[in-house]
Amino acid sequence: MSQARRDARVLIYSHDSFGLGHLRRCRTIAHALVEHDKDLSVLILTGSPIIGSFDFRARVDFVRVPGVIKMRNGAYTSLSLLIDIEETLALRASIIRHTAEIFDPDLFIVDKEPLGLRGEALETLEMLRERGTPLILGLRDVMDEPALLAPEWERKRVVPALSELYDDIWVYGLPQICDPLMGIDVPWSVRRRMTYTGYLPRSLPSGVPHNAPLQKISDPFILVTTGGGGDGESMIDWVLHAYEQDRALPYPALLVLGPFMQSERQAEFIGRTAQLPNVEAITFDAQLENLMDRAIGVVGMGGYNTFCEILSFDKRALIVPRTRPRMEQYIRASRAAELGLIQMLAEDGSNRDARTMATALRNLPQQRPPSEVVVPGLLDGRENVNRLAHQWLARGRQPSIRSATAPGRLRRN
């Protein structure tokens, strides 16, 4: 084994302006890579403001770039610093480039955004391409409905980036469930570089008490999780209405509100929970896997990570997907429901009948678990990511065979 291979380095980039999804997916991949190869280090570049709340295995570390947040009008603004967004993006791009330049990765994996937030990763991609570093784009199973995704990708000039920059595209899902590029006009040269890995399985964290006591309720309970919580208020409100209207629901509920839920709504929900003997609420738990494993059933919104955890721990699940601003959760949940992996309860934003939710909660423990549905390769994501990464690392750096990018063609809009 060569010296370069013994000291292999992987850099993972995630724009992660809000929420937990991208960060938790990148963390899962990083842990899988270092567990598989004891001579490999992984560095994660992220904008997540709460990355420090998570534990990381040996040989995994992170660099946090200044955070941004997306406003209701779709524009971005600095999360904490009193500087304008252009200065923030320039600072982020500089940190990303200089980190990659010094860390000098043997493999660069970009999560979801091919050019980074507002194109901030483009210079880094071009620099690493010149060095011969393999460039990988990782996509979740669903991006958005084609009618919205196609014009967004055209505006961001994504397809030229896929054609000219990336050596491989890994889809963390299965084609029989979802095709993230459905309805997008991409050339065959891009399609043939797509590999479906299967979903990324999750496991219990080591060294953490598995049966830590809760304050008010006890096992067995229904876990109600919003992920990051920034868009989970309506689901929490609906579940609380069900417990307020039907005091005879057979199982207690543990609500995990999420760290990004507005503090006023968190306070409101905690106050309502205090009036219910069989409902407990917490804001955040970095070891949600433990709670998921203990739960008799799960109510969630159907984000990628929650879906992976439901499959990994074989939990009966009720998914209440959001439909705005993206249809991602609805597309994933509706397809999974068609296959019998979960049950879905859709809301229209105005009619959230407490009795409907109460009935669904009563039926949840009687559902069949996902394991009763045979989907070959469903949870092979970790194994396949390791296999693919090993192939690229073993190949080593090679001069890029991609055509030179025309000046300005991929520049930030």
How far the first Cα of the chain sits from its last, in Å, is 44
Could you read off the pLDDT of 244-271 as tens digits, one per residue?
999 999 999 999 998 889 999 999 999 9
Tokens of 22: 């991208």
Beta strands 222-225; 194-196: pairing state: unpaired
Does residue 268 sit in the same domain as residue 391? no
Average pLDDT along the chain: 90
How many whole angstroms separate alpha carbon 137 and alpha carbon 131?
A: 17
Looking at the DSSP assignment, which residues form a beta bridge with residue 135? Answer: 108
Q: Judging by DSSP bridges, how do beta strands 76-78 and 68-70 pair with one another?
A: antiparallel
Question: Does residue 14 have a pLDDT over 70?
Answer: yes
Do 238 and 320 form a contact (C-beta atoms < 8 A)?
A: yes
Identify which has the larger pLDDT, 186 or 276: 276
User: Residue 135's domain is classified under what CATH number?
Assistant: 3.40.50.2000
Paired strand residues for 70: 76
Q: Looking at the structure, do residues 346 and 385 belong to the same domain, yes or no? A: no
Mean pLDDT of 66-80: 74
Q: What one-character-per-residue DSSP string does 156-224 give?
A: HTHHHHHHHT-SEEEEES-TTT--TTTT----HHHHTTEEE-------PPTTS-TTPPPSS--SS-EEE
pLDDT tens digits for range 192-240:
999 999 999 999 887 666 666 788 999 999 999 998 888 889 999 999 9
For residues 18 and 158, membership in a common domain is answered with yes
Does 272 share its domain with 171? no
In a domain, 191, yes or no: yes
**Same structural domain, 184 and 240:** no
Residue 38 within any structural domain of the chain: yes
Q: Are residues 176 and 227 in the same domain?
A: no
Work out the average pLDDT over 154-170: 92
pLDDT of residue 359: 96
| Strand 107-111 to 8-14 pairing | parallel
Mean pLDDT of 90-117: 96
Tell me how far apart the alpha carbons of residues 70 and 201 are, in angstroms, rounded to a whole number.
29
* Burial class (CB within 10 angstroms; exposed 0-12, middle 13-18, buried 19+) of 185: exposed
Residue 67 pLDDT grade (very low, low, confident, very high; cuts 50, 70, 90): confident
Average pLDDT over every residue of 345-370: 89
pLDDT at 32 over 70: yes
Q: How many domains does the chain have?
A: 2
Q: Do the beta carbons of residue 40 and residue 34 sit within 8 Å?
A: yes
Instruction: Look up the domain containing 40 and give its range.
Output: 3-201+379-395
pLDDT of residue 78: 82
How long a stretch of residues is the chain? Answer: 413
Which of 64-78, 161-175, 367-381 has the lowest average pLDDT? 64-78
In-domain check, residue 343:
yes
Residue 402 lies inside a defined structural domain of this protein:
no
Residue 5 pLDDT: 44
- Confirm if 5 and 19 have CB atoms less than 8 A apart: no
